[in-house]
Structure 1
């Protein structure tokens, strides 16, 4: 049985294949470089399919589902 060359994961409902050893933000970067920069800057964050926070440096597991969402604390400060 051979091991696939890449992991298939999903970011904001879009599938992407990334190399083994990639982390969550790498999957975002492969599809949405501008959103990955926002995650790196702390203006956006990652959640899993249930809406629970996920570290951008979390190792990927094939089939994982991530969503990029705004950081609410900073949004609230900007509107105050």
Structure 2
């Protein structure tokens, strides 16, 4: 299929050779529950980022859904 599986959109014009960055945290739509927020704030789940980008948040994102098993639906 010619339909892309991923697309990025810009809120402003992008100049030639302008550096682009992408926030993998998904924080805009994926809010953490209070337990995960507390662990991140305490530094237990934070992994340092060494990319060196000027606007780097200095830590890699954490997504608890990657570590918590999903509940199986009841199909009785």
Q: Which of the two has greater strand per residue? A: 1
Report the TM-score, using the length of structure 1 for normalisation: 0.26
Q: Quick check: which has more Rg, 1 or 2?
A: 2
Higher relative contact order (CA 8 A, sep 6+): 1
